[in-house]
Amino acid sequence: MPQTVRGVVSMAVGEPVTITDVVIPDPGPGEAVVAIQACGVCHTDLHYREGGINDEFPFLLGHEAAGVVESVGDDVTEVAPGDYVILNWRAVCGQCRSCLRGRPQICFSTHNASQKMTLADGTDLSPALGIGAFVEKTLVAAGQCTKVDAAAPATAAGLLGCGVMAGIGAAINTGGVGRGDSVAVFGCGGVGDAAIAGAKLAGASTIIGVDIDDRKLEWARGFGATHTINSSEGDPVEAIKALTGGNGVDVAIEAVGLPVTYRQAFEARDLAGTVVLVGVPRPDMTIELPFIEVFGRGGALKSSWYGDCLPSRDFPMLIDLYLQGRLDLDGFVSETINLGDVEEAFHKMERGEVLRSVVVL
């Protein structure tokens, strides 16, 4: 029997989100229904509401979540009812040309549930990042459920489902940050601070947080930034060079999604350094770079989708580090809120008042 639950839906570009009835089908083959316990508000949810991702409205928002599997469809072996899981947006296929070459973390054919969740009138919903988790229960592909230790509360664990994993992975997996490296992170929101925490875990010795908001810079120091720069007060590239013997950093991570900060990251890295773009640009943005410097500086310009994570490898490992007190996931949770508070949480995010508002169900 399909179930009707309450969820947060974005009906049209720029309009405030609304809480409405969402119809969840029973799980079919390869699918699972998960009772959501907590779901963080990520900037990408706001990108959806602003029409910055695509125009397939209405969207069921929310995608940074943990909960308990309620039921599974036929042929599901990886999870069972009662399992505590983090939802991921990288259910790997095992068969595409990337998986077959042993690189499932960049699977080219990830999958979501085949059935659609709908509004009460039967209109198909587009779940954010194939998840849709600002809702009491959601339908996902079973491969989107990653089992982790239930000792970690859902408010913390869910954050690994998107932004925190994206940031940590941008530093460790994509950027390859290692012991003694120097790192600069542009944008110290949830994703940027996670990149700072990741750089610290990996043993970076200089970690420079750059933002235009002093409050964000203070939080960045809490996650391990050894230096901070307010880039609204002067040229951050010069300031980074001054902190690195005139050379620039080994790894420059862009966690805003703007051409201006990408350019700063490009210019602030040392010779043979790496630029990692983890911020998501709007589709209409372009960037111009001095071509000779793209060549002359050597190194690598990389993009990081989901921190190049492999959920089955990375989520349980990071939950273990959290439970050992070595990764402060609770520090990202600025407030816990209800489903009805998501619109206000977007405004708090825009005003820079929070790292993560987390919906608790």
Ligand X SMILES: NC(=O)c1ccc[n+]([C@@H]2O[C@H](COP(=O)([O-])OP(=O)(O)OC[C@H]3O[C@@H](n4cnc5c(N)ncnc54)[C@H](O)[C@@H]3O)[C@@H](O)[C@H]2O)c1
HSE of 217, CA atoms in CB hemisphere, 13 A: 16
Residue 210 interaction partner, one of ligand X, Zn ion, none, beta carbon < 5-8 Å per kind: ligand X
Q: Residue 99 touches which of ligand X, Zn ion, none (CB < 5 to 8 A by kind)?
A: Zn ion
From the number of C-beta atoms within 10 Å of its C-beta (0-12, 13-18, 19+), residue 19 rates as middle
Residue 213 or 320: the one with the smaller Cβ distance to ligand X is 213
Q: Which stretch binds ligand X (CB under 6 A): 30-38, 101-109, 146-154, 208-216?
A: 208-216
188 binds ligand X (CB under 6 A): yes
- Distance CA(171)–CA(169), nearest Å, equals 5
Q: Tokens 């969402």 correspond to what residue?
A: 22
CB of 286 to ligand X, least distance (A): 16
Backbone angles phi, psi at 49, to 5 degrees: -60, -30
* Closer of 84 and 306 to Zn ion (Cβ): 306
Q: Which stretch binds ligand X (CB under 6 A): 98-106, 144-152, 256-264, 320-328?
A: 256-264
Which option in Zn ion, ligand X, none does residue 107 bind, with CB closer than 5 to 8 A by kind?
A: Zn ion
Q: Does 192 bind ligand X (CB under 6 A)?
A: yes
**Interaction partner, residue 36 (Zn ion, ligand X, none; CB < 5-8 Å by kind):** none
Name the residue number minimizing CB distance to ligand X: 189
For the bound state, the minimum distance from the C-beta of residue 185 to ligand X, rounded and expressed in Å, comes to 10
- Mention every residue, 6+ apart, whose C-beta is less than 8 A from residue 202: 171, 172, 177, 178, 179, 181
96 binds, among ligand X, Zn ion, none (CB under 5 to 8 A by kind): Zn ion
Closer to ligand X by CB, 306 or 315: give it: 306
State the first-to-last Cα distance of the chain, in angstroms, to the nearest integer. Answer: 22
**Residue 75 and residue 28 in contact, taking contact as beta carbons nearer than 8 Å:** no
> Is 107 a binder of ligand X (CB under 6 A)?
no
Q: Does 166 sit near ligand X (CB under 6 A)?
A: yes
186 binds, among Zn ion, ligand X, none (CB under 5 to 8 A by kind): ligand X
Closer residue to ligand X, CB minimum distance, 209 or 273: 209
Contact partner at residue 34 from Zn ion, ligand X, none, CB < 5 to 8 Å by partner kind: none
Binding piece for ligand X, criterion CB under 6 A, among 94-102, 196-204, 291-299, 300-308: 300-308
- Calpha distance 182→57 (Å, rounded): 42
Contact flag: residue 255 with ligand X (CB under 6 A):
yes
Candidate segments 143-151, 277-285, 291-299, 335-343, binder of ligand X by CB under 6 A: 277-285
Report the residue from 7, 67, 161, 189 that binds ligand X according to the rule CB under 6 A.
189
Task: Report the nearest approach of Zn ion to the CB of residue 154 (Å).
Answer: 16
Neighbouring-strand partners of residue 253:
185, 276
The contact set with ligand X (CB under 6 A) reads 42-44, 47, 162-163, 166, 186-192, 210-213, 216, 231, 255-258, 260-261, 278-280, 304-306, 349, 352
